Structure 1
Amino acid sequence: MTRRNASLSALIMGCTLVFSGSMASAEDLPPLPPVPPDYADKKMPAGGWTDPKAIEEGGKIYRGEFKTEVNCSSCHGKDGAPVKKGARDLRDPKLVCRFSDAFWFWRVSEGVPKTKMKANKGLLSEEQIWQVMAYENQFSHGGKPADRSCYKP
């Protein structure tokens, strides 16, 4: 195959993907890793996703105003938009709604291997981790408190 034919073939395949609507989406993402047994039963306390006081406290922690060792916004951005390569975009409900309470709690507690996301276990109490999660959840809901009815196992 000549270089011209190869280029033309690549262009046609790209156009076909675009016009067929087969671009990658959150649904095409690989399955999330299983939650370890120590975290499998974690569930946000009742009303925690929309509790204004919890969200306010979670915002302070997220922005690094609570403890200097914890500053989620340094990677995830002040509005949930990544500022560092590899950080999740917390504004995208297609991504955030994939996280069960247990999965999200586990990741905030233990960090994410092979990334810059550090473990917060030992730096934050369980209540503070829930507060941060409630604050982060707002990013994928237009900056407003929201329950997790978007989560589908």
Structure 2
Amino acid sequence: MTRKIISVSVFAMGCALILSGGLASAEDLSPIAPVPADYAGKHMPAGGWTDPKAIEEGGKIYRGEFNTDINCASCHGKDGKPVKKGARDLRDPKNTTRYSDSYWYWRVAEGIPKTKMKAWKGLLSEQQIWQVIAYQHMFSHDGKPSDHSDYKP
């Protein structure tokens, strides 16, 4: 009798998790790499997350209007929805709230090994990298500037 109750309970819990969306994918749980020492001190300039001029310039860079060799939208999509396999969905706050400003800077500057994400540090100034980051950050906030206070390490 006990074995039957346990089996039914486990089955019911599994169904409840599936129906509630409570199962996490491996991608949701994957740890992010630690920021190298060279980038650990990088922080968004004051007001940079919400500066309309910086965001506008970041959008031009993101879409390839500044330099045709740099076109983030070709993988991440014009609205942050991936168009190429492996690209992060920048509309999903589960992704963007995990990134510290120094982590984000590091990844844009150096690219991501074993992916199509190229390093932009040779083609963009530090200011331009921050502008792109501020623009990308809006995707996870319904297209509105946000101060990144939702960052959760």
TM-score (norm 2): 0.87
Secondary structure of 1:39's aligned partner: helix
Q: Within 5 Å, which residues of 2 pair with 1:13-32?
A: 15=15, 17-19=17-19, 21-24=21-24, 28-32=28-32
Q: Aligned partners of 1:85 and 1:12: how far apart in 2?
A: 35
- Please, which runs of 5 or more residues in structure 1 have no aligned partner? 1-10
Match of residue 97 from structure 2: 97
Matched, 1:37 2:37: yes
CA distance in 2, matches of 1:15, 1:135: 40
CA apart distance, 1:80: 0.1
Give distance in 1, aligned partners of 2:20 and 2:80: 31
Alpha-carbon offset, residue 121 of structure 1: 1.0
- Tell me if structure 1 keeps the 8 A contact 2:55–2:132: yes
Task: Measure the CA separation in 2 of the matches of 1:24 and 1:147.
Answer: 27
Residue 15 of structure 1 and its aligned partner are, at CA, apart by 3.4
* Equivalent residue number for residue 8 of structure 2: none
Matches for 1:1-153 after TM superposition, within 5 Å: 15=15, 17-19=17-19, 21-24=21-24, 28-153=28-153
Alignment check: 8 A CA contact 2:28 2:94 kept? no
TM-score, structure 1 as length reference: 0.87
Unaligned runs of at least 5 residues, structure 2: 1-10
Mapped partners of 1:134, 1:105: distance in 2: 10
| Aligned residues between the structures | 143
Give the direction of change, closer, same or farther, for the CA distance of 1:99–1:68 in structure 2 (3 Å limit): same
The alignment partner of 2:129 has SS state of: helix
Q: Using the alignment, how far apart are the partners of 2:93 and 2:21 within structure 1?
A: 20
How far the C-alpha of 1:20 sits from its partner, in A, is: 6.3
- Indicate conservation of the 8 Å contact 1:26/1:95, yes or no: no
SS in 1 for 2:38: coil
What is the aligned partner in structure 2 of residue 6 from structure 1? none
Runs of 4+ in 1 over 6 A off after TM superposition: 11-14
**Shift of residue 30, structure 1, vs aligned partner:** 1.9
% identical equivalent positions: 74
Q: Separation in 2 of the partners of 1:130 and 1:20?
A: 38
Change (3 A) 1:74 1:23: same
Tell me how far apart the structure 2 counterparts of residues 14 and 26 of structure 1 sit (CA, whole Å).
17
User: In angstroms, what is the RMSD of aligned CA positions?
Assistant: 2.1
Alpha-carbon distance, 1:27 to partner: 9.2
